[in-house]
């Protein structure tokens, strides 16, 4: 099968946006219902691998709706989704177009009524992310992107805006960065300790100033609680970097396209030089780092500036051993 053309992708995007907005309505109703139920005993919140890995009936309901709509509209397309994978079906990637979906990204926020949860609808073609839609119904923020066609933010009250929202700024070093990190749902010491040590190194001052060895004293660290929205915020230019170990392809697929189209550089575990193409091993590698579009300067290209920051980042943080399949 030939790769999807630019105009086919445009049509798919229009259709996917409608799907995302319909899913958003279910999320808003669900959020209200969960808060009402939380006042009584029956919350409808279930645990997956542990007590912080949450799923609600709305995650499943949204994924079922999305799967059904895709099957009807694009019967030849394959499907990868978080809840379908949780039920034991995570098919290998093929060259066929494949929707890659997180019905609710930021489920913990969703159940706590912290208004940063979204549906994340990515499309993979020939094993590369090519289209992304991220919709946060609580703020009515819609992020969209198509490979080679740019990415956009649509919000109430203002015309759709091309991303990034502002001209690219330079970034001299991590010490000037606002970074997003996430704690994730794997709370074993073997996973949490290297992450926490890395967060400390990113935030702390140098030893000479009473900090720690290798301290970078970045401007600050943030956790939005949704991988997709972290990617979107890097695309927008509100965050300089986002790093996470432990999320999955459905958390990041849409965000990768949106961030790349905004000039962002996406890579996976550790630093190995490449030009930012997201191959299958990065997409399914469960380790992600994204750096916003930077201004080059003084003989340094924008891409070289991003690679310099990635290198500095990976010299600062610890790697974490995780299973890429569970």
Answer yes or no whether residue 182 interacts with Ca ion by CB under 5 A: no
Of 108 and 200, nearer to ligand IPD (C-beta) is 108
As measured in angstroms, the least distance from the Cβ of 82 to Ca ion is: 5
Nearer to ligand IPD, 98 or 109 (CB): 109
Instruction: Note if 11 is an active site residue.
Output: no
Q: Which of 59, 105, 182, 240 is catalytic?
A: 105
Is 104 an active-site residue?
yes
Q: Binding residue for Ca ion (CB under 5 A) from 20, 97, 102, 262?
A: 102
Which of 23, 60, 82, 305 forms a contact with Ca ion (CB under 5 A)?
Answer: 82
Q: Which is nearer to ligand IPD, 142 or 305 (CB)?
A: 142
Active site residue 82: yes
Q: Which member of 59, 63, 82, 240 is catalytic?
A: 82
- Residue 281 falls in the annotated catalytic set: no
Alpha-carbon span 180 to 213, nearest angstrom: 21
Report the C-alpha gap between 290 and 295 in whole angstroms.
15
Residue 146: CB minimum distance to ligand IPD, A: 23
CA pseudo-torsion sign 111, 286, 9, 239 = positive
* Least distance to ligand IPD, CB of residue 106, Å: 5
Q: Is 200 a catalytic residue?
A: no
Q: Least distance (Å) from ligand IPD to the CB of residue 253?
A: 12
105 is catalytic: yes
Indicate the residue among 55 and 123 with the shorter CB distance to ligand IPD. Answer: 55
Which residues, including other chains, have CB under 8 Å from residue 280's CB and lie 6 or more apart? 93, 127
Q: Please pick, among 12, 70, 104, 282, the residue that the annotation labels catalytic.
A: 104
Q: Which residues are catalytic?
A: 82, 102, 104-105, 107, 251
């Amino acid at each position: 099968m030939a790769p999807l053309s630019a105009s086919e992708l445009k049509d798919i995007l229009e259709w996917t946006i409608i799907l995302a907005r319909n899913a958003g309505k279910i999320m808003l109703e669900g959020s209200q219902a969960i808060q009402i139920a939380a006042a009584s005993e029956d919350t409808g919140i279930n645990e997956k691998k542990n007590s912080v890995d949450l799923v609600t009936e709305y995650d499943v309901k949204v994924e079922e709706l999305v799967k059904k709509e895709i099957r009807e509209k694009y019967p030849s397309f394959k499907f990868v989704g978080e809840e379908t994978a949780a039920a034991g079906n995570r098919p290998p990637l093929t060259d066929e177009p494949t929707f890659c979906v997180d019905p609710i990204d930021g489920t913990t926020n969703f159940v706590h009524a912290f208004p940063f949860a979204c549906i994340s609808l990515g499309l993979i073609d020939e094993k590369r992310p090519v289209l992304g839609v991220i919709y946060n119904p609580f703020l009515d923020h819609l992020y969209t992107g198509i490979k080679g066609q740019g990415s956009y933010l649509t919000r109430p009250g203002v015309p759709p805006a091309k991303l990034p929202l502002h001209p690219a700024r330079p970034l001299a070093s991590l010490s000037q960065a606002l970074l997003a990190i996430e704690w994730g749902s794997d709370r074993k010491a073997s996973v949490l300790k290297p992450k926490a040590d890395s967060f400390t190194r990113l935030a702390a001052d140098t030893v000479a100033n009473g900090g720690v060895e290798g301290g970078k004293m970045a401007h600050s660290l943030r956790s939005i609680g949704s991988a997709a929205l972290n990617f979107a915020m890097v695309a927008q230019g509100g965050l300089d970097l986002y790093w996470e170990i432990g999320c999955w392809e459905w958390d990041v697929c849409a965000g990768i396209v949106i961030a790349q189209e905004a000039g962002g550089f996406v890579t996976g575990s550790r630093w190995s030089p490449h030009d930012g193409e997201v191959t299958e091993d990065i997409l399914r590698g469960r380790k992600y780092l994204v750096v916003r579009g930077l201004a080059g300067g003084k003989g340094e290209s924008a891409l070289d500036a991003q690679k310099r920051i990635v290198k500095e980042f990976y010299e600062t943080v610890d790697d974490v051993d995780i299973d890429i399949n569970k």
